[in-house]
Structure formats: C-alpha cells, structure tokens
Amino acid sequence: MSTTTSTVKKIAMLLANGFNEAEFVALQKAIMAKQAQARIISPNNGLAYSDPKTGNVISYASDSQLSETLAIDYDCLIVVGGQEHIDLLTEEPHAIRLMRAFLRESIPILLVSESSKLLDVIGDTRLSSAVSAEKTSFQEGCVFWSVDGTGLSALFRSFFETVCAKEQEQISDSDNGVAA
C-alpha cells in the first residue's frame, strides 16, 4: 500500500456560494491526511458560504480570486457539489476558462456530484456514458467523478495517487530531455 504524502502538492478547490459543505469537509480531511496544501479559489470576494441544506452555512475564506487563477499554478483541481454553487460556476467565464485549462494540460480534476455539469457547459462528454452505469464513482483519463458524493475518502486517495504519478512522469520526462 502506498503512503504518498506531500507538503508541496497544491490543490485548487473551486468554491462559490452555496457549495456542499459536507463534501467540502470530507475532502479537507482527506487532503490533510496526505499533508497536501489546499487553496480555496472563489469568484466571491473574500468569503464563500455553504448551502444550508448540506452544512452549517459556514463561510470559508478564499485564498485566491478565480479571475486571477491559472491552472499551471496547481497540481490538481477539486470541485465539490451544491446546486446553487454549480449554477453560479456554470455562468462564470473564469470557471469555464479554468476547467478548460486543467483539461487541456491533463491536470487531474476531481468532480463531486453535480459539479460534473461544468464539463457539460464546455462540451466535454467524457462522463456522459457513465451516467447510465450503476457505479458511484468513475475515472476517465485525468477526470475523477463521485456521482453522489459518497466514498470521497477512498476516491481522493486514488485521485491523489494519480496527481503524484503525474508529477513523477513530468520529472522523468524532464530527466530524459523531454519538454513538459
């Protein structure tokens, strides 16, 4: 069993008002267990609050403004669910720009519950065949999806292994003279 941990992994967590607090907290715990660095990226100035149906309506301070965020500054992206949160992000041009950049660079993305709608907005159909299956989680290339927000800890471990493997691949490529 691998015990991959890192103090240098930079994880972008995209949050807008109305996010699913239970999913967010579960992933925060999993990130802390790996000793990684999570940064909250938000279109909201300063704070993002959770959906009252999924938590205590606690506001979380954002670390970076979405409009100033670049995919290359992070090792991966996580987007939790929450209907209001996803509705806001699907209308946010910078969220769409950021999703496209992560996909273009094959930087791992973890989507939880309805956050997969962000792929629909940009015309990415990689998870469309997964909807009819009876599974609760999927992986298609660098994109991971927890359909209903269950089993996040286990899915995050697999996701994090992919993030670490991608870094090792980039190191190996640079050692062999291949441009990253």
Average pLDDT of the chain is: 87
- What is the pLDDT, as a whole number, of residue 79? 97
The model's pLDDT over 62-88, given as tens digits with 9 standing for 90+, comes to 999 999 999 999 999 999 999 999 999
Helices (H) and strands (E) in the chain, counts: 5, 9
The pLDDT-based confidence of 7 (bands split at 50, 70, 90) is very low
Query: Residue type at 158?
Result: S
- What is the pLDDT, as a whole number, of residue 8? 72
The model's pLDDT over 24-47, given as tens digits with 9 standing for 90+, comes to 999 999 999 998 889 999 998 889
What's the pTM value of the predicted model, to 2 decimals? 0.88
Q: Is the dihedral of CA 87, 88, 92, 94 positive or negative?
A: negative
Give the domains, in start order, of the chain with CATH numbers.
10-175 (3.40.50.880)
